[in-house]
Amino acid sequence: MHASSPLPRRGRAWVLPLLALAVAGVVGLAVWRPWSTPEAIVAAGDGTVAVPTEPEALELPEDPTVLVFGDSWTYGSAASTPTLGYAYVIAEIAGWTTIVDGIRGSGYLKAGIDGPDYGTRIAELDPTLDPDLIIVQGSINDRRLPAAGYRAAVDAAWDALSQTYPRAQIVILGPAPQVLPVESATARIDRDLAAAAAERGWWYISPLKEEWITSDNYLDIIDTGAGNNHPSTAGHRYLAERLTEAVAAITR
């Protein structure tokens, strides 16, 4: 557990079936991917068209240092103790050393309960941390605010993050639904973040598109009582497992 604060004639008979299985496996992976492939917007005649692109695979050392940055879900809200939140549990599951920076209520535009908005918080990060990977989670907290200015706030925050940690690889983890059906504003945030990540060639993981939380498992993951629609302790572990799988799928 890591602390929290990656031929001869007779032999030919089996070659063709094996090759067939290998090809089928590659085709199957191309059809089903446990991650989101970004789309780059490029010029196409008089208009624009979304062209699927795939960022370079992550390259992580054996024991990577990972900065997990986000809102109350990253903080560990509704877990029996915050240190049982997904951002801490993933250190155990994935074999990472995690640095957890979660502020309840915080978003790209919205200040949080315990601290300011994402951009201001990023400007206050310790530049000597030197993480191998940064995961930026969320946030649903901007869903009650106007869409105007949202993209500019996202771009400014991400610019500051990449300038502060130029060596780090960055993955964006989109918002997950705290209620079902998914609110339209949450879906809009998911689309905006996916487009912004695609323009930078960053990996984007979408719990919405990948259906991490559905009507079938909602009550097993989300504490609808005192947790105020945040993941329970079991829910946080589930999220850590899903995120571990998603990052592994895009890592060399």
Q: Output the domain CATH number for residue 80.
A: 3.40.50.1110
177: in domain: yes
Mean pLDDT of 145-160: 97
The pTM is what? 0.81
Instruction: Answer yes or no: is 36 within a domain.
Output: no
Per-residue burial over 227-240, b if 16 or more Cβ lie within 10 Å, else e, is beebbbbebbbbbb
Which structure tokens are listed for 32?
Answer: 């089903």
How many residues does the structure list for the chain? 252
Mean pLDDT, the chain, integer: 86
pLDDT tens digits for 130-149? 999 999 999 999 999 999 99
In which domain, by residue range, is 199 found? 57-249
115 found inside a domain: yes
114 lies in a domain?
A: yes
Alpha carbons 108 and 111: distance in angstroms, whole number: 8
The answer to whether residue 35 sits within a structural domain is no
Percent of the chain with pLDDT over 70: 79
For 164-214, the pLDDT digits (tens) are 999 999 999 999 999 999 999 999 999 999 999 999 999 999 999 999 999
For residue 10, being part of any structural domain is answered with no
| 120 assigned to some structural domain | yes
Number of domains in the chain: 1
Q: Which residues contact 229 (CB under 8 A, 6 or more apart)?
A: 178, 179, 222, 223
- Domain membership of residue 2 (yes or no) is no
Whether the per-residue pLDDT at 28 is higher than 50: the answer is no
Q: Which two tokens stand for residue 79?
A: 């877990």
Question: pLDDT-based confidence at 24, cuts 50/70/90?
Answer: very low
